[in-house]
Amino acid sequence: MAVTAEAGRLKAEGVDIVAFGAGEPDFATPDNIKQAAIRALDANFTRYTPAAGIPELRKAVCEWHKKDLDTNYEMAECIICVGGKHVIFNTMAAVVEHGDEVVLPVPYWVTFYDVINYHGGKAVRVETREDNGFRLTAADIERVLTPKTKMVIVNSPSNPSGAVVPPDEFERIYRLTSSRGILLLSDECYSHFVYDGKPFSIGSVEGAKPNVVVVGSLSKTYAMTGWRVGFALGPRALIEAINKLQSHSTSNPTSITQKAALEALTGPQDSVPRMLAEYRRRRDYVIPTLNGIPGVHCPEPGGAFYAYPNISCCFGKAGIASGMDFSTKLLHEAHVAVVPGEAFGTNEHVRISYAASMDDLQRGLERIRKFIVEKTS
């Protein structure tokens, strides 16, 4: 967000910035969803709702999840929150005690790290390997588990790397954590944007429910980032605890948004494959283009809409010694906004969001290529 703010400041000064910083779809919310919100307003659906969300939406989440991800949750195992971020915050608040260890695969989405710390937990980093496309394995996790481990976080497809944990490996991770009574928090906010195979939820594994909390969101799937709607699927006791907390903090997610979310989940679904096809087209342009820049390496993402190239070829050149130096110079000299890897726990990378038009991708990547060639020659 800081990068986006600085890029916005330069833009306001009239600088032609190409922005790859923001982690949100560049598509408009589909019209049927917007119309549902307008209808809700016209019908004065503007009062408090149950804190956990309206029953028809909670049921719709369970049914939609069953249809698309093969799970079997009931309404009492589902709560609607103010975005996936809020689900994560609430879950940590309900589960993490002072001094508990929470395993966090690197590179991680920055919010996890700060929220663990905020709740008095200790983030235990587990490195993944770039040469394995940053895909997490059960063996990686096993190495860092201790008697104090309370929770393990898996985010697949990943922000920032786009890495997807294959279902069989994911199951191994689940068996490892559940056998030790550790809660597996599975952030599946990008579940519907996978390029190979079908969307997968760890909640679909037989018997997984007691030890898994699935974090979901409509933000990316339906291009609804500003609406703020996400959900948790998990053990009843945890959902009930989150409900109590939520009823005293935010109360219900916005009433109008809930009606829009209901339409998103139950109405026409054609926007989702359309967006996925477009992300795929962009990925198939972005990754080879990045790898075509001398010295740059970028694993192919299996999902989401992020590329996470290694730009350490520039280190030691023109005062660049980190992803942060690279991003700052790139923004000010080449007018391209990317996010430094430090935000995600690594030093040698930057995150490029390809939720941007093909025209911007072509212009921006050409600027990045020129910048790197200039710095390294």
Ligand X SMILES: Cc1ncc(COP(=O)(O)O)c(C=O)c1O
Which residues are at the interface with ligand X (CB under 6 A)?
23, 83-85, 109, 155, 159, 187, 189, 217, 219, 225, 230
Q: How far is the CB of 158 from ligand X (least distance, A)?
A: 7
Nearer to ligand X (CB atom), residue 271 or residue 376 = 271
Q: How far is the CB of 190 from ligand X (least distance, A)?
A: 7
Number of residues that make up the chain: 377
Q: How far is the CB of 294 from ligand X (least distance, A)?
A: 31
Nearer to ligand X (CB atom), residue 152 or residue 189 = 189
- Cα dist from 270 to 32, 170, 313, whole Å: 11, 28, 42
Nearer to ligand X (CB atom), residue 62 or residue 81 = 81
Cβ neighbours for 322, distance < 8 A, ≥ 6 positions apart: 315, 340, 342, 347
Q: How far is the CB of 299 from ligand X (least distance, A)?
A: 17
DSSP 290-315: HHTSTT-B-PPPSBTTEE--B-GGGT
67's enclosing H/E stretch is helix 55-69
Closest CA to 238 of 54, 103, 96: 96
Nearer to ligand X (CB atom), residue 157 or residue 323 = 157
- Cα dist from 117 to 25, 113, 120, 319, whole Å: 29, 6, 5, 32
Nearer to ligand X (CB atom), residue 222 or residue 371 = 222
Nearer to ligand X (CB atom), residue 82 or residue 320 = 82
Q: How far is the CB of 187 from ligand X (least distance, A)?
A: 5
Q: How far is the CB of 214 from ligand X (least distance, A)?
A: 12
Q: Token match 């679904």: residue?
A: 269
Cα atoms found within 13 Å of the Cα of residue 333, Cβ hemisphere only: 15
Which residue has the CB atom at the shortest distance from ligand X?
83
